[in-house]
Amino acid sequence: MEVDQQHFWHELLPILKAISTASFVTVDVEMSGISTKLRYSPGGRFNEIGKPSLQQQYEDTKEAAERYQVLQIGLTCVEEDWKNGVYTARPYNFNINPLLEDGDKLDIYRDITFSSSSMHFLRKNCFDIGAVFTKGISYISRKEQTQARQAFLERQNRNSTIPDIEIGPGDQVALDFYRNARRQLLEWTDSKNKDERDAMGFYNVSVPGGLSGYQRRLVYQLVRTEFKQYRAFLPKKNADFVQVEKMDTVKEAKIAASKVIANETQLSKQVGFRYIFEALAGGDLSAIAPNWFCVNAAGQSAFIDTSLKKLELSSLAKALAAKSRVLVGHNLFTDLIFLYHTFIGKLPPTVTEFQEEIHALFPMVIDTKYMATRDKLIDSRQSSSLQDLHQDLKSQRIPDICLPEEFRSYQNRHQLHEAGYDSYLTAQIFLKLAAKLDVGHPKHNIATHAVDPFELSIGSADSTSSDDDSGGVVLDPAPHSANRFQVLTEPSPVKKKARQSSLLDSDIEDDMTGSPPLAQDGAVFGDAARGNDFVPALTAPFWRVYANKLRVYGTLDEVCELDGGEAGGLAHLN
């Protein structure tokens, strides 16, 4: 599902619900650049002798994250459907807009930078860079929000401590204006004009053609220094005069409080896409206002019972705060560094501190690149890219993945390097690898005769398909040729125990086929309705080998451990 700025608030609650019920969420990120070092330039990577340490690689990627922007994020929320014996996947694609509509007013400024090589790569893969700025969802990081709040308070305090302007003796125009304004205010505040002053309540200081910014500041200074029982202000935005009225301390306090509330509301709404990141990381969603959801499917204002939305949001926030957070990705090291800088703020100086920060945000992270390479399922010299792994695993019969009707765009459209599509591929690869690696269970029997769901829509030469009466798809492909994953030489590291019914609190495994559709009532068409098992539960000892380890090829370490070792990987989930 494509979600843009216009439809973001309409879709946010359903997205939060999908995250809250997901057994795991896969993520993919597209950036405007991934390295600040040119490969063959003086001091570039290929001129260095030996492999860099993990700390050096972290510093390189950290520098890139601080220079470049996240342009697109893909999420696939995968929920275990025990009733139908399938996994239900909901892929989302979000363009991320680095521009802020009210950025200048909030004192938030960004440099937006693009790497030419990254832009060539994205353009080659049909990436619409224009959509990032016209339809993308804006955001501010935790750090930016804190800084903007502090800047506002300092600005409010500055208004009462602005240094006086010293008008030079040669600036006759300014002197004449200042003296004339002073004369007008002295006359207006004279006791003999009390009745007139009380009746009107205010006095407007102006000149023909309107006041300049310099003249407005002179009026503020005049009132602040010589008419301390009064206040000067602009009665409306872009007014060309200054209004003066009697100081009311109670009213002033209310005005100051209302400004703080208005600024905080504006800041909270500018958080934008970060609310989804906070949902993934167990963060704070309390600033979301229920009236923001008063839009229809077209993104237009609509009457909606905000009390119901408030209850739904409260329920989701509690569920998200309490749930076990499991994040899955492919080659996650770079993605996590960019996500942290984009939505949290300043990256820590050392990779050790970064590991601790990420582990606190996401207690369980699984890198499918590490899964594929740890047990030497493929040679380190062979490609472990997302598309190559998908190609190698496409013939494997794995736990069934179903796509609800509104999430089926990727069944007929294959867009590599679109973040939403890649996150969906990652979900499939994750489940296929888990089934492949979990060979210790006596029931396990990985078949290789089912075709990948993406094969159907591109007319694969080694498969045929037809629609059955119920609307499902019957797959009967020819046997697939041997590939890198045809033989698994290393057994599962643990014995399997009795199966239960939840991916997060049980130890279940299964085979999966392609992506059979769901009926409107949630029933699964065709063979998908048969009783299937699932991959091992994410609390199972099986995952201690793979959880919280990121593959970082090209470094001395080759692995970035987020929890300090295999034993601690599932501590937060038990």
Please report, for the domain that includes residue 133, its CATH number. 3.30.420.10
Tens of pLDDT, residues 213-246: 999 999 999 999 999 899 899 988 888 999 999 8
Does pLDDT of 95 surpass 70? yes
Across 470-487, average pLDDT: 36
Does pLDDT of 103 surpass 50? yes
- Give the SS3 label for residue 525: coil
Share of the chain above pLDDT 70, in %: 77
Instruction: Identify the band that residue 47 occupies on the pLDDT scale cut at 50, 70 and 90.
Output: low
> Do residues 96 and 160 both lie within one domain?
no
- What's the burial of 487, exposed, middle or buried (CB within 10 Å: 0-12/13-18/19+)? exposed
Q: Would you say residue 301 lies in a domain?
A: no
Where do runs of H (alpha helix) occur along 323-466? 332-343, 351-361, 368-374, 386-393, 409-412, 419-437, 453-457
Instruction: Identify the band that residue 277 occupies on the pLDDT scale cut at 50, 70 and 90.
Output: very high
The predicted pLDDT at position 468 comes to 36
DSSP string covering 277-311: HHHHHT---TT--GGGG-B-TTS-B----HHHHHH
The predicted pLDDT at position 265 comes to 92
> Do residues 161 and 50 both lie within one domain?
no
Give the Cα separation of 533 and 540 in Å (integer): 15
Across 430-436, average pLDDT: 89
Does pLDDT of 281 surpass 90? yes
- Cβ-Cβ contacts under 8 Å for 417 (sequence gap 6 or more): 30, 121, 122, 125, 127
The predicted pLDDT at position 192 comes to 83
Does pLDDT of 430 surpass 50? yes
> Do residues 335 and 372 both lie within one domain?
yes
> Do residues 69 and 209 both lie within one domain?
no
The predicted pLDDT at position 45 comes to 58
Does pLDDT of 43 surpass 70? no
> Do residues 20 and 52 both lie within one domain?
yes
- Give the SS3 label for residue 394: coil
Beta carbons of 233 and 251 less than 8 angstroms apart: no
The predicted pLDDT at position 298 comes to 79
Give the Cα separation of 105 and 148 in Å (integer): 9
Give the Cα separation of 191 and 189 in Å (integer): 6
Report which of residues 330 and 444 the model is more confident about.
330
Give the Cα separation of 369 and 546 in Å (integer): 10
Does pLDDT of 420 surpass 80? yes
- Cβ-Cβ contacts under 8 Å for 293 (sequence gap 6 or more): 9, 10, 12, 13, 304, 306, 309
- The domain in which residue 488 lies consists of 2-140+319-568
Q: How far is CA 550 from CA 25, 101, 162, 355, 425, in A?
A: 16, 36, 52, 10, 18
Q: Would you say residue 303 lies in a domain?
A: no
Instruction: Identify the band that residue 394 occupies on the pLDDT scale cut at 50, 70 and 90.
Output: confident
- Cβ-Cβ contacts under 8 Å for 75 (sequence gap 6 or more): 19, 25, 26, 27, 91, 92, 94, 276, 280, 420, 423
Tens of pLDDT, residues 293-328: 988 887 788 888 889 999 999 999 999 999 889 999
The predicted pLDDT at position 66 comes to 96
> Do residues 92 and 171 both lie within one domain?
no
Number of structural domains the chain divides into: 2
- Cβ-Cβ contacts under 8 Å for 114 (sequence gap 6 or more): 32, 33, 68
Last residue of a domain, one of 243, 269, 295: 269
Does pLDDT of 469 surpass 60? no
> Do residues 115 and 244 both lie within one domain?
no
> Do residues 382 and 448 both lie within one domain?
yes
Backbone angles phi, psi at 333, to 5 degrees: -55, -55
Give the Cα separation of 398 and 62 in Å (integer): 37
Q: Would you say residue 311 lies in a domain?
A: no
> Do residues 404 and 519 both lie within one domain?
yes
Does pLDDT of 338 surpass 90? yes
Instruction: Identify the band that residue 452 occupies on the pLDDT scale cut at 50, 70 and 90.
Output: very low
Share of the chain above pLDDT 90, in %: 48
The predicted pLDDT at position 476 comes to 31
> Do residues 229 and 109 both lie within one domain?
no
Last residue of a domain, one of 269, 298, 328: 269
Q: Would you say residue 421 lies in a domain?
A: yes
Q: Would you say residue 499 lies in a domain?
A: yes
The C-alpha torsion from 435 through 441 and 446 to 452, rounded to 10°, is: -20
Last residue of a domain, one of 209, 234, 269: 269
> Do residues 470 and 549 both lie within one domain?
yes
Q: Would you say residue 281 lies in a domain?
A: no
Q: Would you say residue 290 lies in a domain?
A: no
> Do residues 361 and 228 both lie within one domain?
no
Report which of residues 390 and 89 the model is more confident about.
89
Most confident of 390-399, 437-446, 553-562: 553-562
| Residue 15 in tokens | 């997205």
Q: Would you say residue 302 lies in a domain?
A: no
**What pTM does this model have?**
0.77
